[in-house]
Amino acid sequence: TKAVIPIESLDSISTKSFPLCMRQLHEQLRIAHHLKHGGRLQYGLFLKGIGVTLEDSLRFWREEFIKIMDLDKFEKQYAYNVRYNYGKEGSKRNYSPFSCLKIINTNVGPGDCHGCPFRHCDTGVLKNKLIGYGFSHQVVSEMVELSKKTHFQIACSKYFDAIHNADVGLGINHPNQFFEESQKILK
């Protein structure tokens, strides 16, 4: 059985084991106390996939959102979607977390933080973000160049190696696979 990931560990785990797409959504949620629909869906399903329980997910989103809105508004407009992601509302389907292909091919509009940063981020923004995380200029250039050549998942593999200070060369096709492989290394 899969380990349960407590939401108290997400700040730390997001820097150690999340792919960049999810780290970015986590950071944005902490900064803005809100994510637009596409971000809530992409990040919410990822969290379910890594082993965050429904109860914890509700608490996680609630604690952020009520910093900028009434509890009542959260319960009426947003709690439904959290339960929906867990198959507890609407058609009660067990929705799967999105694959890289789905995320890379998604539509990202202005103000959206979802998608794949290697595909959707402006090059300058991507570069600054990665340098801000403390990676060497050489490693950052490699990731940016791969992104420019549309080798998004290979850039992501470089990112995996960079955060683990290793040379794994993992073929990445799913954010949850990224997370699981990372957890194996860290154990």
Which positions touch ligand SF4 (CB under 6 A)? 19-21, 100, 103-104, 116-118, 152-153, 156, 172, 175, 178
C-beta of 177: minimal distance to ligand SF4 in Å? 8
What one-letter code names the amino acid at 83?
R
Nearer to ligand SF4, 86 or 118 (CB): 118
C-beta of 91: minimal distance to ligand SF4 in Å? 26
Cα–Cα distances (Å) from 132 to 11, 81, 127, 128, 129, in that order, read 16, 33, 8, 6, 5
SS (H, E, C) 142-184: HHHHHHHCCCHHHHHHHHHHHHHCCCCCCCCCCHHHHHHHHHH
C-beta of 30: minimal distance to ligand SF4 in Å? 18
Going by C-alpha positions, the residue among 105, 122, 93 that lies closest to residue 24 is: 122
C-beta of 147: minimal distance to ligand SF4 in Å? 10
Nearer to ligand SF4, 65 or 152 (CB): 152
Burial label for 97, CB within 10 Å (0-12, 13-18, 19+), is buried
C-beta of 149: minimal distance to ligand SF4 in Å? 14
Nearer to ligand SF4, 39 or 117 (CB): 117
Nearer to ligand SF4, 58 or 156 (CB): 156
Nearer to ligand SF4, 86 or 120 (CB): 120
Sign, CA dihedral 151-156-162-167, equals: negative
Q: Is 66 in contact with 104 (CB distance < 8 Å)?
A: no
Torsion angle (degrees, nearest 10) of CA 9, 12, 14, 16: -120
Nearer to ligand SF4, 82 or 156 (CB): 156
C-beta of 92: minimal distance to ligand SF4 in Å? 27
